[in-house]
Amino acid sequence: MKGELVTKGEQTRQRIVAAAAPIFNQHGYAGSSIVELMKATGLTKGGIYRHFSCKEELAAEAFDYTWETARDARLVDVDEKTVGVDLLKLFIANFIDKKPPVPGGCPILNTAIDADDGNPVLRERARKALRAWSNRLQDILKVAAEHGQLQPGVAPKTVATLIIATLEGALMISRLERNYEPLRRVQEHLNYYLDTQVRAVK
Amino acid sequence: MKGELVTKGEQTRQRIVAAAAPIFNQHGYAGSSIVELMKATGLTKGGIYRHFSCKEELAAEAFDYTWETARDARLVDVDEKTVGVDLLKLFIANFIDKKPPVPGGCPILNTAIDADDGNPVLRERARKALRAWSNRLQDILKVAAEHGQLQPGVAPKTVATLIIATLEGALMISRLERNYEPLRRVQEHLNYYLDTQVRAVK
């Protein structure tokens, strides 16, 4: 929203979303109490809900905010010169090395687990974000295939699914163990896989 | 506890744990209300907490119950004849094909995400279960290595981490998408990896 004119009400709304984002990302939907939200925003319950119809609307906007900031963090050092398999490797490295600004881990993983047996609005947000991420990776692979940079028969969807699944699962283990080693181990595996089974042999 | 003599109080306690398990596994710690727990057990709040010091104690026992039943489901068709890489492949197949009796997905994944920024007691239970699972896979690999069935330089911990991370991440995607395809895609990848990078070349 930089440079755009926004009303004071819209500014307050955005400030509430940014303050609520780490609470929802760390403690989940049910675990985020109005008391915590009031403390984080410095507003009363009425002051918060003047801007949102319900907790679900606030949680959904907080999810989008957290996801957008995490996605942007993964774009660090991404430029036009890096393409194909090298770009996928850079995305993998950024996922592991670039700490997203909102604490609590990956919002897709958190919200997927939090909402897969419950809240359909949040589940839909997480699914949409997951698909956008997968499509981004698949697009990189499709362009690489068109330039003859991939081995024949490589399925972009399989590669994208494998990268996302492996990173998210390793993130869960790393966060549980408070240790980056699991992420490092899978990074090495994914890079080797991309070099030997995906990238065209020169 | 089959065949053991248990008191009536212990029977009731076990019944409460079994009834509470699907609630905690589906809705998380904060999302599991006393009203739901009362409904599932058919007991009053006092009737439940006569057997547990607090919600945390009940949640921790429910986690252990859910994990043990999920672990047992993954042992289907596992016999003494299946060893080494074939046994790992069977574990992977069972993880995907054998539905655990308690609904809500993998309790380690659920509890890790639910508790990684919060409840230390639940976090410790999830960590302990994760390590036991990883150690089980590593032990299979160590025995295989002693019998010359693995390629030189294969690190059991890396293989175990990779299998668990990939399956858990794919489970998250499959549950979010309500579609088994992501789990099938990673199963194929893991089996190929085990055959080409782990199993000794004949």
**ipTM computed for the complex:** 0.95
- Residue B174: exposed, middle, or buried by beta-carbon count in 10 A (0-12, 13-18, 19+)? buried
Q: Give yes or no for residue B139 having a pLDDT over 90.
A: yes
Q: Is B79 a residue whose pLDDT tops 90?
A: no
Residue B188: inside a domain: yes
A110 near B CB under 8 A: yes
Q: Which of A36, A62, A88 is where one domain is finished?
A: A62
pLDDT band, residue B148 (cuts 50/70/90): very high
Question: Residue A85 pLDDT more than 60?
Answer: yes
B169 with A166: Cβ contact below 8 A: yes
**Residue in B26, B127, B164 nearest the CB of A117:** B26
| pLDDT of A3 | 57
Instruction: Compute chain A's Rg from CA coordinates.
Output: 19
Q: Are residues A15 and A91 in the same domain?
A: no
CATH code (residue B181): 1.10.357.10
Could you tell me if A35 and A110 lie in one domain? no
For the segment A166-178, what is each residue's pLDDT rounded down to a tens digit? 999 999 999 999 9
**What is the pLDDT at residue B75?**
86
Identify the domain containing residue B179 by its residue range.
8-198
Residues A92 and A123 in one domain: yes
Q: What is the pLDDT of residues A92-101, one digit of tens each?
A: 999 999 999 9
- The answer to whether residue B3 sits within a structural domain is no
Q: Is residue B186 within 8 Å of B163, Cβ to Cβ? A: no
Domain for residue B191, yes or no? Answer: yes
Q: What is the pLDDT of residues A59-78, one digit of tens each?
A: 999 999 999 999 999 888 88
User: Which of B114, B118, B176 is closest, CB to CB, to A123?
Assistant: B176
Q: Can you tell me the mean pLDDT for A133-148? A: 97
Same domain, A100 and A164: yes
**Residue from B93, B165, B133 nearest A166 by CA:** B165
From residue A22, alpha-carbon distances to A64, A123, A152 in Å are 12, 18, 43
Q: Mean pLDDT for chain B?
A: 95
The torsion of the CA quartet B191, B194, B200, B202, rounded to 10 degrees, works out to 20
Residue with tokens 């994208």: A160
| Total tally of structural domains belonging to chain B | 1
Tokens of B86: 């074939």
Q: Is B144 on the interface with A (CB under 8 A)?
A: no
Domain annotation covers residue B2? no
The model's pTM: 0.95
Range scoring the smallest mean pLDDT among A2-6, B20-24, B81-85, B117-121: A2-6
| Shared domain check, A50 and A83 | no
Nearest 5 degrees, angle CA A63-CA A66-CA A72? 135
Judging contacts by C-beta atoms under 8 Å, the chain A residues touching residue B28 are 28, 30-31, 114
> Given A47, A62, A77, which residue is the final one in a domain?
A62
Task: Give the residue from A17, A46, A62 where a domain finishes.
Answer: A62
Asked whether the predicted pLDDT for residue A184 surpasses 70, the reply is yes
Q: Is the minimum CB–CB distance between A143 and chain B shorter than 8 Å?
A: no
Task: Answer yes or no: do A106 and A175 share one domain.
Answer: yes
One domain, residues A72 and A109 = yes
Task: Look over chain A and give the mean of its residue pLDDT values, rounded to a whole number.
Answer: 95
In-domain check, residue A184: yes
**Does A42 share its domain with A80?**
no
Domain membership flag for residue B99: yes
The answer to whether residue A112 sits within a structural domain is yes
Pair (A36, A85) in one structural domain:
no
Calculate mean pLDDT across residues B73-99: 92
CATH number at residue A48: 1.10.10.60
Question: Do both A36 and A117 map to the same domain?
Answer: no
Q: Is residue B38 part of a domain?
A: yes
| Domain co-membership, A35 together with A101 | no
User: Is residue A51 within 8 Å of residue A12, measured between CB atoms?
Assistant: yes
Look at the alpha carbons of B123, B124, B130, B133 in this order and tell me if their dihedral is positive or negative: negative
On the question of pLDDT at A182 being above 90, the answer is yes
Does A134 share its domain with A54? no
